[in-house]
Amino acid sequence: MIKNFKIFVLLLFYIYFASSNQIVLPKLLDNKLITTELIEECISIHRADVILLLETSRFIDKYSFNIMKFFSIKLMNRLNITKNGNHFGFITYSNTTHNILPLQWNKYKIKQSLKSIKFNPTGKPNLGETLKIVKETIFSPFTYRESIPKVIFIVTTGHSFDDITSQIEELQKQNILIYSIGVTKNFNLNNLYILSNNPLRVFYLTIPLSSISHLINSIIWDACKASYRVGAPEVICGKKFIGIRLATKKNFEGSIYVMDHFNNEECKRNADEMRDLRSLSLTIPFNRCNVKRWRSINPRGIYTEVTIIIQYHPLFMSEDDQVIKGRCFYQEEPSNVEFSSNYKIKNN
């Protein structure tokens, strides 16, 4: 299965989703370019609410479990966890969720809770249900820190015996950043890509202990350098909708809407509707706002396309506004559906 994003900004940039026998290695940091001091500075400036999901199903062997615990504690120690900084929590899951530690800033309590996790691999993993719990309880309106970006690190085999797609779509709508970190040698690569929505946010915990610090620095830098938000704009290819999400450097004050549908409320989002004014997203059902759909014969499938306007000023258009054309392709296959997406960005 191959998926690709085509990004047109100044250069044409291709990202390929690999098939099950093509593992794309993550790009780890070059220590000569990105120093520990630079990462520390980034961590001290930017903050986020971070949730770690750890799979403890029957697919996790003892060696992988120990690697996961070691990684989790090192990751937690690396973050700037304080009352006014990063908040951190974690969940272990298999067929059900087991250990749930809500978002907090008590590093000692977090560390002791991580250390207390016992090796007890049981059940089939139901990651979809776990993601639903994260969305409805951990990141609920009652626990939400306004304008603080949300990040989920998922250490998983990628296998799930329930649906993950619908929950991932809901999290993408909320602009929550997801990193999938494959563990064991038999991980489901396609699901790792579905979870992250971007191959650059897929990493692998199949490395020696001596390399984990470097891996953690690579993951944290990738998230932190864009202030724990989406870097380049991304297309969201849902089962019943198409959308885009992106981040801004300053608080957003304007509107994001489908071209020629500024006065249609179901085709538009204003700044006052957004929890994080630096994270923008808009999703449109296929049967609304004149979303274009057409069938392809070769390859067989359906294209959907929408043009989105990013208007930065609340009252009028300006030279800073952007036009983003998002396109998704849903390929027909006997047993599954493939997604590919591309978008073009134009400055007015």
pTM: 0.85
For 185, the 3-state DSSP assignment is coil
pLDDT at residue 343, as a whole number:
58
- Spatial contact of 135 and 161, defined as CB atoms under 8 Å apart: no
pLDDT at residue 336, as a whole number:
52
Q: Tens digit of pLDDT for each residue in 316-330?
A: 999 999 999 999 999
Q: Tens digit of pLDDT for each residue in 69-84?
A: 999 999 999 999 999 9
Reply yes or no on whether the pLDDT at 39 is more than 80. yes
Cβ neighbours for 290, distance < 8 A, ≥ 6 positions apart: 258, 260, 261
Strand 338-347 relative to strand 3-8, pairing: parallel
Give the start-to-end residue ranges of the domains of the chain.
15-224, 234-347
- Spatial contact of 76 and 54, defined as CB atoms under 8 Å apart: no
- Spatial contact of 19 and 193, defined as CB atoms under 8 Å apart: no
- Spatial contact of 104 and 114, defined as CB atoms under 8 Å apart: no
The proportion of the chain whose per-residue pLDDT surpasses 90, expressed as a percent, equals: 73
What is the band of 340 on the pLDDT scale with cuts at 50, 70, 90?
A: low
SS (H, E, C) 20-69: CCCCCCCCCCCCCCCCHHHHHHHHHHCCCEEEEEEECCCCCCHHHHHHHH
Q: Tens digit of pLDDT for each residue in 50-63?
A: 999 999 999 999 99
User: What is the DSSP-derived secondary structure letter of residue 271?
Assistant: G
Could you give the CA distance from residue 322 to residue 308 in angstroms, rounded to a whole number? Answer: 8
Could you give the CA distance from residue 216 to residue 76 in angstroms, rounded to a whole number? Answer: 10
Cβ neighbours for 301, distance < 8 A, ≥ 6 positions apart: 295, 329, 330, 331, 332, 338
Q: Tens digit of pLDDT for each residue in 123-171?
A: 999 999 999 999 999 998 777 788 899 999 999 999 999 999 999 999 9
pLDDT at residue 168, as a whole number:
95
Structure tokens at 289: 């706002």
For 318, the 3-state DSSP assignment is coil
What are the start-end ranges of the H helices in 232-282? none
- Spatial contact of 179 and 219, defined as CB atoms under 8 Å apart: yes
Q: In this predicted structure, which of 104-113, 307-316, 328-337 has the lowest mean pLDDT?
A: 328-337
Fold designation for 15-224: Rossmann fold (3.40.50)
Q: In this predicted structure, which of 17-31, 38-52, 283-297 has the lowest mean pLDDT?
A: 17-31
Question: What's the CA dihedral at 134, 130, 209, 185 to 10 degrees?
Answer: -140
What is the band of 22 on the pLDDT scale with cuts at 50, 70, 90?
A: very low
